[in-house]
């Protein structure tokens, strides 16, 4: 039996009917067409599905849509400025060549923003440790770490 949930997604208040077993990632991708949030494993390991729930990074394949009721969800589509300019962390990934195929990138960016905002990860080792829940099959992580450093500095400027 479906139930109605009300929540905010990327600053917009929504009320939708969802099945009790529907994952948050499927709700975002299928019901709201926010396909920037990716599915890489569905088992909570890869981090491709990372979004923010009330400003903190969570893996949206690990959460039911009904559990997001009453909360604020932010996806990669919601972090750029209204004029379309990239978030400082997005810009840093672009400028530092922190992506290749881009599949992991939305989750990496969302985790990195959380990392800079809520955790002190100011060395390469700490950044690598903190991002160990986000897998990248392409880059070897070196430029991702550089991007997180640069993005963090830009966010604090
Ligand atoms: S799809 Fe959610 S962690 Fe991989
Ligand atoms: S850029 Fe391809 S998986 Fe990370």
Domain ranges of the chain: 3-78, 88-156
Residue having the nearest C-alpha atom to atom 2 of ligand 2? 101
d(CA 143, CA 140): 8
From the alpha carbon of 47, which atom of ligand 1 is closest? 3
From the alpha carbon of 41, which atom of ligand 1 is closest? 4
pTM score, two decimals?
0.96
Ligand 1 interacting residues, C-beta cut-off 6 A: 39-42, 44-49, 59, 61
CA of 107 to the centre of ligand 1 (A): 9
CA of 67 to the centre of ligand 2 (A): 29
Q: What is the CATH number of domain 88-156?
A: 1.10.150.120
pLDDT, one tens digit per residue, over 116-152 is 999 988 788 999 999 999 999 999 999 999 999 999 9
Question: Does the pLDDT of residue 101 top 90, yes or no?
Answer: yes
From the alpha carbon of 135, which atom of ligand 1 is closest? 4
83 CB-near residues (< 8 Å, 6+ apart): none
CA of 52 to the centre of ligand 2 (A): 20
d(CA 59, CA 3): 22
What pLDDT is stored for residue 23 in this prediction? 98
End-to-end CA distance of the chain: 49
What pLDDT is stored for residue 98 in this prediction? 97
Confidence of residue 42 (pLDDT cuts 50, 70, 90): confident
pLDDT, one tens digit per residue, over 13-24 is 999 999 999 999
d(CA 105, CA 122): 20
Strand extents, DSSP E, 19-128: 50-53, 56-59, 72-74
Per DSSP, helices labelled H in 1-157 are: 24-26, 88-95, 105-118, 124-130, 142-156
106 CB-near residues (< 8 Å, 6+ apart): 36, 37, 38, 48, 50, 75, 76
CA of 2 to the centre of ligand 2 (A): 36
To the nearest whole number, what is the mean pLDDT of the chain? 96
From the options 3.30.1240.10, 2.60.120.10, 2.60.200.20, 3.10.20.30, give the CATH code of 3-78.
Answer: 3.10.20.30
């Amino acid at each position: 039996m479906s139930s109605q949930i009300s929540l905010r997604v990327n600053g917009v208040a929504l009320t939708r009917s969802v099945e009790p077993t529907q994952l948050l990632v499927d709700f975002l991708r299928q019901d709201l067409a926010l396909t920037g949030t990716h599915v890489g494993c569905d088992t909570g390991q890869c981090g491709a599905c990372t979004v923010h729930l009330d400003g903190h990074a969570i893996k949206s394949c690990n959460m039911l849509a009904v559990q997001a009721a009453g909360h604020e969800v932010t996806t990669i589509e919601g972090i750029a400025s209204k004029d379309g300019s990239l978030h400082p962390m997005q810009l840093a990934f672009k400028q530092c060549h922190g992506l290749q195929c881009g599949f992991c990138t939305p989750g990496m960016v969302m985790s990195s923003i959380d990392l800079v905002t809520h955790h002190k990860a100011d060395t390469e080792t700490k950044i690598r440790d903190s991002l160990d829940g986000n897998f990248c099959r392409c880059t070897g992580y070196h430029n991702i770490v550089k991007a997180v450093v640069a993005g963090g500095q830009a966010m604090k400027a």
